[in-house]
Chains A and B, each alone.
Chain A
Amino acid sequence: MRALHHRPLTFPGPAIRGLPQSAFSVGGLEAVPHHSGALYLPSERALLLSDLHLEKASSYAARGVFLPPYDTRATLGSVAVAIAAFEPRQVISMGDSFHDRTGPLRLEPDDAATLRRLQGGRAWLWLTGNHDPDAPSGLDGEVADTIALGGVMLRHEPSHRGAEPEIAGHLHPAARIRLRGRGVRRRCFISDGNRLVMPAMGSYAGGLNVRDGAIQRLFDDGADVWMLGDARVFQVSRALLMPD
């Protein structure tokens, strides 16, 4: 098994505010997980967001299920927190940024303005996902299917085989632990040091337990898990992970 960096790192300077973050490496690239679900790559000054699923509630409303229409602003709120914490030069949304193709058209004016403000002053890249295979119409930012960053491949769906280092989303990993008879289930990052799967950031996005076969088979030699707390990320012992 690959050795992992467990040591907590503190990044000096204006790039990072707030709490010290526990960093790890993916394919040799330093990566800082954030409790919002975003991942910061200091060497690239890049912030990665995954599975925002914006406008999910309005997508359901068409079917007569009136979920509170505040999911987009809640999600963008988390994005704003992450951007404020790292002040990245570029932001990459890793696919399924919108819950469906017409999602961008349903953005409330306020939410669209928030998004534009977040995009201002930095490069913004939308990777395509299965929910949003096209460029989001009417929005700023570049569009691509994949991109390589510092020798690591970024794509929406994890590739099934291949040794190249990779960061992906799509699977919405979540972990469940139990201590003293009490359980906590949270979204999480999962990585074996070569591949990393990001948690979904969408406020209504569900989670798939990391013990599920779809996630397990990506990590033959096991993987480590960083669960999202309310104020920071916690690296959690593998032995504590429970199925749902």
Chain B
Amino acid sequence: MAGDEPLPEVFARWFASRGWSPRAHQLELIAQARAGRSTLLVAPTGAGKTLAGFLPSLIELAAQPADRTMSLHTLYISPLKALAVDIARNLERPAGEMGLNIRLETRTGDTSATKRARQFEHPPDILLTTPEQLALMIAHKDARALFGGLRRIVLDEIHSLVTSKRGDLLALGLVRVRKLAPQATAVGLSATVREPEQLRRYLASGEPAGQLADLVTVAGGAAADLSILQPNAVLPLAGHTSRHAMADIYAAIKAHRTTLVFVNTRMQAEFMFQELWRVNEDNLAIALHHGSLDVGQRRKVEAAMTAGKLKAVVCTATLDLGIDWGDVDLVINIGAPKGASRLIQRVGRANHRMDEPSKAYLVPSNRFEIMECHAALEAVAEAAQDTPDAKPGALDVLAQHLLGLTCAEPIGADAAFAEVASAAPYAALSRETFDAALTFVATGGYALKSYERFAKIRLGKDGLWRVSDARVAQHYRMNVGTIVESPMLKVRLGRARASRTGGSPVLFGGRVLGEVEEYFAETMLAGDTFIFAGEVLRFEGIAGNEVVVSRTQAGTDPKIPSYAGGKFPLSTFLAERVRRMLASPAEWQRLPKQVGDWLVLQARKSVIPKRTQMLVETFPRGDRFHLVAFPFEGRLAHQTLGMLLTRRLERLRLKPLGFVCNDYGLCVWGLSDLSAAVADGSLSLDALFDSDMLGDDLEEWLQESALMKRAFRSCAVIAGLIERRFPGQEKSGRQVTMSTDLVYDVLRRHEPDHLLLRAARADAATGLLDLGRLAQCLSRIRGRIVHKALERVSPLGVSVMLEIGREAVYGEAADALLAEAEDIMMQEAAA
């Protein structure tokens, strides 16, 4: 690199021609690159992050002769393939305007096989791709040649990746690439995060242990203009529909250029879209965008958005990340944001210029959510964030990676272990577990060693592991990745007609509207109506892998309640703030009067728990007895708690019948007087909520738990036990589900410590069952349970009891359901 000038002349001229000057952090990154330092750049949206990441590469490449040998210089990884494509477009412009001779290509699942092959033979200077494609590339036998000359690795939106299985896969890919290209430096681009250390350690994966990448921080731009849309109407005690605020939301849309309306679930999106059109007297162009809509439909909305033709889009997390959708000047977040980081990310969608404030409204949909919204506002003001903690790398991902390594070239176990353990998520991996993963790849890793002669990889006399035949590598390529979709069914317009034989109805197919999760379809009966794709549809039946629906007459009300609890549970961080707010009456004055009054009433009728306490109320209602508890640990942890509590109450013969929960608390009801049981000492709440419920009770429940089976299925696919698809045929999610449930049952009984069960339990602990959080909660409240026996439900209690989505106690015990079915039979027979 010639000259000490930070910016070569052609670049300086280009900046000047645009009327810009390079920003400090952009120059700093150039200096970092020259010093050969890996760096994390933390900057708010609109700070020119991407250009900062690429400038050092462009400068180095511009200085090279035009007739240089083709060699990959910079590898860029993005969490979304659309983002990779978008960035490529954005980079081509400056490169073109400066007349730089730089070859820039993308590589995604959509890239043709010939182009992918060509990229190995004639690599571009800069390749933009995704973690999955990186995994495929390092498993290629020519990986060493492709990455040998690499200088730079750019990881975009790194904060959104690190704590997921994709992040684990990427970390393993990163250490591999660094092994092949020791001279390469890594740059991570991230939005503002609470703990940059975590990302710095991640970025230093592959460097000597304990190292952190350097940090360059750009101070936050103009503070966001955030406020809570103060409803004129009285807010409901429960529910998630925000129906009360529709007029205010519509007025806000009307008063702005383009508005993004964020909701937490697909169902909320459908509902919001429906309600907005109900009040859309001016026929404003309001569109709908969520992940379940047909791809063609989504692309149309995105195109209209970019062209500035839309007044508002109602959308879910599918628009959370990355891509710039044009001139958005307002973001409305419906319901509580559930996490401060998500809120910041969403608000960042409005106004992509750093020096102007982003404007956003929060619309709480019930009284608890008002408190949560206030907590979120405070958090944003303090720039406090709640990104999840780092967790140990997933074992199923490790297994996948080890097979990939072996597909590329023979590997030695010692070297592979050292390499894997240099990836931040796997820093604490034991050699024993590593060896178990390697044995899993070879023969399934069972204590009963019956598959030795079918081994996929074998240990040679030279101490290296090799794939046993070419088909193994072929199968590996078909199964790469960490995203296992939950089984989805297509939603197709059709009509049911009874067949002549009186058997199953014959369904005539029409247009595909999108897809829904199988479990949602399973809860419906023919004739049920629900909202989807912006209209009220009638459920006709399931035919093969499709849900057949018909259109309803205008004005039909959907019968199936849109389950709207939200798929993100309340973050631990916001929960703590809400508990604090609740515990300090001085803070109530800052809340809207109706909320303050509600809390004052609670203090009078029952108790306001202190910050570290958990309130439990017991009371009769109708011919049932209720128990309401307020752990504030999020819906998933509460759901698990509800399952376990009812199991215990059952064993104590206290006849629980069902439970319901939301992000703040849960309510159990049954036939026994719980207040009396506490009073006479036959029920100890401390014992009821003791953390030993996470032992045998949990194990017993997990046997039947559909959630655990789902976690196992996903691990089995990622680890390569079950194939995602065979050449030429894609196995449907439904078929995979059937077989992995049987496998789970057998494995659980015969080898409970198997690697895949460990992986599935780890997933359950942090994901669907939120066991980790429940465990923390139970130890937090030990000895701090405040019990209040009441004559009737308390003001706080009402908001939990009104929640939809009740779970009955027979829960997932199949025999209880079958017995009920048999009773129905007997009644028929007796009639």
Q: Could you list which residues of chain A lie within 8 angstroms of chain B, going by C-beta atoms?
A: 6, 58, 61-62, 64-71, 73-74, 106, 108, 177-184, 186, 203-207, 211, 213, 216, 227, 229-232, 234-237, 239-240, 243-244
Central interface residue in B542, B722, B817, B819, by most chain A CB within 10 Å: B817
Choose among A58, A65, A182, A211 the residue that contacts B721 (Cβ–Cβ < 8 A): A65
Minimum CB–CB distance for B560 against chain A, Å = 10
Whether B821 and A177, one on each chain, are in contact in the complex, defined by CB atoms closer than 8 angstroms, is yes
Q: How far is the CA of A216 from the CA of B499 in the complex (A)?
A: 14
Whether B734 and A237, one on each chain, are in contact in the complex, defined by CB atoms closer than 8 angstroms, is no
- Answer whether residue B284 sits at the interface, using C-beta atoms and an 8 A cutoff: no
Minimum CB–CB distance for B61 against chain A, Å = 43
- 11 pairs, A vs B, C-beta closer than 8 Å: A64-B472, A65-B723, A67-B721, A68-B446, A68-B750, A68-B754, A70-B446, A179-B820, A182-B812, A206-B742, A243-B542
- Answer whether residue B593 sits at the interface, using C-beta atoms and an 8 A cutoff: no
Whether A237 and B739, one on each chain, are in contact in the complex, defined by CB atoms closer than 8 angstroms, is no
Whether B746 and A234, one on each chain, are in contact in the complex, defined by CB atoms closer than 8 angstroms, is no
- Answer whether residue B713 sits at the interface, using C-beta atoms and an 8 A cutoff: no
Residues of A within 8 A of B739 (CB): 204, 206
Whether B825 and A62, one on each chain, are in contact in the complex, defined by CB atoms closer than 8 angstroms, is no
Residues of B within 8 A of A211 (CB): 504
Residues of B within 8 A of A68 (CB): 444, 446, 743, 746-747, 750-751, 754
- Answer whether residue B523 sits at the interface, using C-beta atoms and an 8 A cutoff: yes
| Closest residue on chain B to residue A64 by CB atoms | B456
- Answer whether residue B113 sits at the interface, using C-beta atoms and an 8 A cutoff: no
Minimum CB–CB distance for B131 against chain A, Å = 25
Q: How far is the CA of A106 from the CA of B453 in the complex (A)?
A: 12
Choose among A69, A74, A236 the residue that contacts B446 (Cβ–Cβ < 8 A): A69
12 extra interface residue pairs, beta carbon distance < 8 Å, beyond A68-B444, A68-B446: A64-B471, A66-B451, A66-B721, A68-B743, A74-B746, A108-B448, A108-B450, A181-B523, A182-B808, A211-B504, A213-B503, A237-B821
Residues of B within 8 A of A180 (CB): 808
Residues of A within 8 A of B450 (CB): 58, 61, 69, 106, 108
Residues of A within 8 A of B679 (CB): none
Q: Could you list which residues of chain B lie within 8 angstroms of chain A, going by C-beta atoms?
A: 443-444, 446, 448, 450-451, 454, 456, 471-472, 475, 503-504, 522-523, 541-542, 721-723, 734, 738-739, 742-743, 745-747, 749-751, 754, 808, 812, 814-815, 817-822, 824-826, 828-829
Whether B444 and A69, one on each chain, are in contact in the complex, defined by CB atoms closer than 8 angstroms, is yes
Minimum CB–CB distance for A240 against chain B, Å = 5
Q: How far is the CA of A62 from the CA of B454 in the complex (A)?
A: 6
- The 3 nearest A-B residue pairs measured at CB: A66-B444, A70-B750, A237-B825
Whether A235 and B444, one on each chain, are in contact in the complex, defined by CB atoms closer than 8 angstroms, is no
Residues of A within 8 A of B503 (CB): 213, 216
Minimum CB–CB distance for B470 against chain A, Å = 12
| Closest residue on chain A to residue B825 by CB atoms | A237
Minimum CB–CB distance for A212 against chain B, Å = 9
Residues of B within 8 A of A182 (CB): 808, 812, 817
Residues of A within 8 A of B747 (CB): 68, 70
Q: How far is the CA of A178 from the CA of B454 in the complex (A)?
A: 42
Whether A203 and B746, one on each chain, are in contact in the complex, defined by CB atoms closer than 8 angstroms, is yes
Q: How far is the CA of A179 from the CA of B823 in the complex (A)?
A: 12
Residues of A within 8 A of B817 (CB): 177, 179, 182, 184
Whether B818 and A229, one on each chain, are in contact in the complex, defined by CB atoms closer than 8 angstroms, is yes
Asked if A71 meets B825 with Cβ closer than 8 Å, knowing A66-B451, A216-B503, A229-B815, the reply is no
Q: How far is the CA of A213 from the CA of B746 in the complex (A)?
A: 30
Whether B825 and A235, one on each chain, are in contact in the complex, defined by CB atoms closer than 8 angstroms, is yes
Q: How far is the CA of A100 from the CA of B739 in the complex (A)?
A: 19
Whether A234 and B824, one on each chain, are in contact in the complex, defined by CB atoms closer than 8 angstroms, is no
Whether A204 and B471, one on each chain, are in contact in the complex, defined by CB atoms closer than 8 angstroms, is no
Residues of A within 8 A of B504 (CB): 211, 243
Whether B746 and A65, one on each chain, are in contact in the complex, defined by CB atoms closer than 8 angstroms, is no
| Closest residue on chain A to residue B817 by CB atoms | A184
Minimum CB–CB distance for B622 against chain A, Å = 19
| Closest residue on chain A to residue B818 by CB atoms | A234
Q: How far is the CA of A94 from the CA of B750 in the complex (A)?
A: 26
Whether A230 and B815, one on each chain, are in contact in the complex, defined by CB atoms closer than 8 angstroms, is yes
| Closest residue on chain B to residue A178 by CB atoms | B522
Whether B815 and A231, one on each chain, are in contact in the complex, defined by CB atoms closer than 8 angstroms, is yes
Residues of A within 8 A of B448 (CB): 69-70, 108
Minimum CB–CB distance for B468 against chain A, Å = 9
Choose among B723, B742, B743, B829 the residue that contacts A6 (Cβ–Cβ < 8 A): B829
Residues of A within 8 A of B742 (CB): 203-206
Choose among B723, B734, B750 the residue that contacts A244 (Cβ–Cβ < 8 A): B734
